[in-house]
Structure 1
Amino acid sequence: MREGTAVKGMSGTVKNSPVSQDMTAEPLMRRTLAAISHYKMVVAGDKVLVGVSAGSDSVTLLHVLNRLTSCLNIRIGIAHLDHGLRPESAAREMSLVVGMAHGLNVPCHTGKVAAIPEHGSLEEALRLQRYAFFEDIAATHGYTKIALAHHADDNAETVLMNMLRGSGLRGLSGIPPVRENRIIRPLIGELRADIVAYAYQHALAYAQDASNADLRFERNRIRHQLIPLLQKQYNPNVVATLNRMAALCREEALWRDNCLAPLETRTTIRSDAHTLELRMDELVTQPRAVQRHLLRVTLRQWQGHLRRLGADHIEALLDLVARAGARSLNLPGAVLAQCVANRLCFKKVATPRRHNTIATAPSYHYSIADIGRQPMTLSIPEAECSLRFTLDNAADLESWRGPDRQTVLLDMAHLPFPLTVRNWQSGDRFQPFGLQGTQKLQDLFIDRKVARSCRQRIPLLLCGDTIAWVAGVRRGAAAPVTAATRQVLRVEIESMGEPRRRGQNL
């Protein structure tokens, strides 16, 4: 990342601009005022915490809200969080933001992420920490609103990301202008180009984040590759079109939620910290679309989120409800779904503490009878992880990113069911892929420097008596994918609580 300026001669601070009668002559100011009014973002007396990263979007938002403090009768403060990813530029960014706060004579609250997560989605983990930081500052210092600088281009990118993941109405609604009457986004209708033009016009200093051009990130590929392609070959106004579609989907989703709220109340029997129970008779008499909605909304309210719970899990739950008899399904986040009598019960599975010695490590043994058309997740609380099983067509693998240590691909035709998932036992041997002969698992763990305290928690995937995969460590020689393979079983290991390749709740 590098610190930059949008134009020569920019000052390092944002000067306090008095409210003038012709302020609304500036298009961006006029539109922002209209958005604040239309969505009822603030009321007189609100104390607004502005999240400022030092980028052009948040610096512009700060400048705009500061100019509007008098006419809106609000007070503002600044929050800036150092994510700890770029030490060489973080100090310059913080200095820039603190300088703005001093120039405006407004409070500035700064913080730093205590620990960068080692597993799961880095972007999602940091986003959650950022929102937690904002909420903590707001609660401590009496801020009634939190203003963020998401804009129309961000919204279009989010809609496309969710569309590519197969989201429903809520996902296609994009980034809400107001969330829970707490998070507000005054620039949500503005284009990125207009925001940069405003910063240029008012000589605002801001930092430029080079990671925004890193095409390893899905959002950046959509921003720099997909949207320009759509604009050039299909619709030059695609950003505005996606924002209009998002607004329509948001209105329809709100209408649907209001219409189905009484049914949701009738369906829910119990909802507490550990258990959610739903009435089966209320569920099964509804159209599948309504069942899908009820499951999503009740699970979201129970857990507080739907992270890692995708459309495939909801469809698997619907299939579970449709079948007769007692049955169960493991869901992400260590949640067990069970059909018992006339109830669909969700329970949070207790995750044991990590053990420091092999002697006290718990043993486990799971059997996988079959893999259906819908992906399946096996929660393994003893190992503090889960295995996700997905059946793919081999022809689709050419465009897939390819396996790593967290993923194994197996030829479905050469897998004798049931499969077994268990932990390491003394004397276990396996044949590593690409090598002749077998070796002791203990030797493999030593070679790969796997800590002794971790070895008995690592899941082993077996077909028959053959170890096909030492999860997260190395695959075996069984059921290799070849040119003749038609169907592929993809198995992925995920840590419990790890958000992996799921949509963001912005």
Structure 2
Amino acid sequence: MIERVRNTIVKQNMLESGDTVVLGFSGGPDSLAMLHVLHRLRQEFGLDLVAVHVNHMLRGEDADADEQFVRRYCDGIEVPLEVFHVDVSAIAESLGMSFEEAGRKVRYEKFDAVLKAYNAQKIAVGQNANDVVETALINLFRGAGVDGLASTAYNRNAQIIRPLLDVTRTEIEAYLDQNQLTPCVDKTNFEVDYTRNKIRNELLPYLKAHFNPSIESALMRTVSLMREEKLFWHHHLEKLKKEICQIEDNRVRLSDPLFMKLSCAEQKRLLRYAIETVKGNLIDVSSDQIDSILKIRRTGAYVKLSHDVKITKGYDEWIVENPKQRRTLLPPFIRTEYLKREDFERLGKNDLKIAVDADSIIGELSVRTRKPGDRFKPFGMEGFKKLKDFFIDEKIPREQRDEIWLVCDDEKIIWVYDYRIDNRCRITKDTENILMIALETVVEND
């Protein structure tokens, strides 16, 4: 088993020489075997180890006995140990989670705290090959795709590692017997209240007895194939993101003409990526919701997945954003410079500035966003045009129109920033005095 774990560490590039590794150590078979193996490999890989035990305060004297076992074992092999007492039952109730979810949340919070305190590089947890199979089945029953059926990853976030993922529960038990190690036994693992325990204690034995004696191996082959598919999609998605996505603060834009040419599978992948970028995760984002978003065809229509995510169909793009973190636009600074005609003609073109007839300006310059009833004479037109109609003709998405700056004098709009100047302010053959105008915009998040 040591050779198997060594190969997993090397093949999956889990550790580097000099790493300090935080190990989750419940005292159960998996974590005990993991600590024992990594302790034997510590000199070979140049590792420092620190163990973390979380007493969930759920099992009374049994939990206290587990803690004492963990303390004795770490003392015996001279591995530093950090112990935390957390009332997981109270946390689960306050957050509306199951005990299992709350326990996992607490454990990883403590692992991360110890990682920072010891300036460690990795967190090692003890899932094994059987856990991979169980997770794949759980995800299958939820209607998962390739990512879900790929099950548990060897590495997560370049920080969390699972060195026992190629080792079966039977092999772990044999290793513990061979090394005369007696782990703690969590009696809740034999209960059938939780989905995972039902799969472990009821479903898999039934499948093994009635369908395939080697069901775990068969399912692991499926997981292995799904991991290959997942890796392909990861690389392909990187390519699509560069071609189609534009990432801004709390917002992702997807080019609609390119997006609509993609296959349905590619569209779903990109949409999930955009949602995860904005939301931070894909919790409670179902395949049905993704399907309903892709059915949108009307410009301006939108779907709210939650208070955190809004997806809008624009003229030529899809916009995925967090409406609660829309940008607060501070009025920009107006920079001006007066020039004579001959000086202006020597200047090069600058897209960030405009040049207008200085004598056409009435009063003081100011900058604002649109108001109801706004109108102006777009460059090249003699008649007035409603600003709303101008935005529609320019295919400016509705959600962007309140963010477009208007440079005005006391009587009129002079410049729709980044789009058009007013025809009354244009430079003509009779213009003698020229005013250069530039805006320096400031963006501040809420």
2:281 is the counterpart of 1:305? yes
Q: Determine which of 342, 345, 366 is the counterpart of 2:319.
A: 345
Q: In the alignment, what sits opposite 2:62?
A: 89
Q: In the alignment, what sits opposite 2:271?
A: 295
CA distance in 2, matches of 1:334, 1:301: 11
- Unaligned 5+ segments in structure 1 are 1-27, 352-506
The number of equivalent residue pairs is: 321
2:279/2:322 contact within 8 Å kept: no
- Alignment CA distance shift 1:58-1:347 (3 Å): same
Give the SS at the match of 1:116.
helix
2:237 is the counterpart of 1:260? yes
CA distance in 2, matches of 1:201, 1:284: 59
Structure 1, residues 450-488: CA drift from partner, whole Å, max 9, x if none? xxxxxxxxxxxxxxxxxxxxxxxxxxxxxxxxxxxxxxx
CA distance in 2, matches of 1:246, 1:172: 6
CA distance in 2, matches of 1:236, 1:246: 18
Q: In the alignment, what sits opposite 1:173?
A: 150
Structure 1, residues 255-308: CA drift from partner, whole Å, max 9, x if none? 222123121123222343x43333323321211110011112232233332111
Q: Post-superposition shift, 1:107?
A: 1.1
Q: Post-superposition shift, 1:227?
A: 1.0
Q: In the alignment, what sits opposite 1:158?
A: 135
Q: In the alignment, what sits opposite 1:443?
A: none
CA distance in 1, matches of 2:231, 2:172: 29
Q: In the alignment, what sits opposite 1:191?
A: 168
Structure 1, residues 32-76: CA drift from partner, whole Å, max 9, x if none? 112112212112111111111111110111111111111222111
Structure 1, residues 119-151: CA drift from partner, whole Å, max 9, x if none? 134422332232222122112211111111100
2:246/2:254 contact within 8 Å kept: yes
Q: In the alignment, what sits opposite 2:34?
A: 61
Give the SS at the match of 1:208.
coil
Q: Determine which of 286, 291, 310 is the counterpart of 1:336.
A: 310
Q: Post-superposition shift, 1:108?
A: 0.8
Give the SS at the match of 2:53.
strand
1:84/1:116 contact within 8 Å kept: no
2:303/2:312 contact within 8 Å kept: yes
- Unaligned 5+ segments in structure 2 are 326-446
Q: In the alignment, what sits opposite 1:31?
A: 4
Q: Post-superposition shift, 1:349?
A: 5.0
Partner AA of 2:300 in structure 1? A
Q: In the alignment, what sits opposite 1:24?
A: none
Q: Larger deviation: 90-99 or 333-342?
A: 333-342
2:175 is the counterpart of 1:201? no
Partner AA of 1:241 in structure 2? A
Partner AA of 2:320 in structure 1? F
1:152/1:240 contact within 8 Å kept: no
Q: Determine which of 241, 244, 251 is the counterpart of 1:275.
A: 251
1:151/1:189 contact within 8 Å kept: yes
2:50 is the counterpart of 1:73? no
2:17 is the counterpart of 1:40? no
How does the TM-score come out when normalised to structure 2?
A: 0.68
2:278/2:322 contact within 8 Å kept: no
CA distance in 2, matches of 1:296, 1:169: 13
Partner AA of 2:223 in structure 1? A
How does the TM-score come out when normalised to structure 1?
A: 0.60
1:101/1:108 contact within 8 Å kept: yes
Structure 1, residues 349-393: CA drift from partner, whole Å, max 9, x if none? 549xxxxxxxxxxxxxxxxxxxxxxxxxxxxxxxxxxxxxxxxxx
CA distance in 2, matches of 1:251, 1:222: 25
Give the SS at the match of 1:329.
strand
CA distance in 1, matches of 2:324, 2:277: 20
- Alignment CA distance shift 1:347-1:134 (3 Å): same
Q: In the alignment, what sits opposite 1:116?
A: 91
- Alignment CA distance shift 1:333-1:236 (3 Å): farther
| Alignment map for 1:223-234 (pairs within 5 Å) | 223-234=200-211
Q: Post-superposition shift, 1:77?
A: 1.0
2:16/2:45 contact within 8 Å kept: yes
CA distance in 2, matches of 1:265, 1:280: 14
Give the SS at the match of 1:337.
strand
Q: Post-superposition shift, 1:188?
A: 0.6
Give the SS at the match of 2:91.
coil
1:308/1:332 contact within 8 Å kept: no
2:278/2:309 contact within 8 Å kept: no
Q: Determine which of 110, 113, 116 is the counterpart of 1:139.
A: 116
Q: Determine which of 188, 192, 196 is the counterpart of 1:211.
A: 188
Which structure's CA Rg is the greater one?
Answer: 2
Q: Post-superposition shift, 1:93?
A: 1.6
CA distance in 1, matches of 2:69, 2:8: 28
CA distance in 1, matches of 2:258, 2:295: 16
Q: In the alignment, what sits opposite 1:317?
A: 293
Partner AA of 2:260 in structure 1? V
Partner AA of 2:314 in structure 1? V
Partner AA of 1:116 in structure 2? I
CA distance in 1, matches of 2:57, 2:306: 29
1:48/1:144 contact within 8 Å kept: yes
Report the aligned-residue RMSD.
2.0
- Alignment CA distance shift 1:196-1:282 (3 Å): same
1:151/1:187 contact within 8 Å kept: yes
- Alignment CA distance shift 1:131-1:161 (3 Å): same
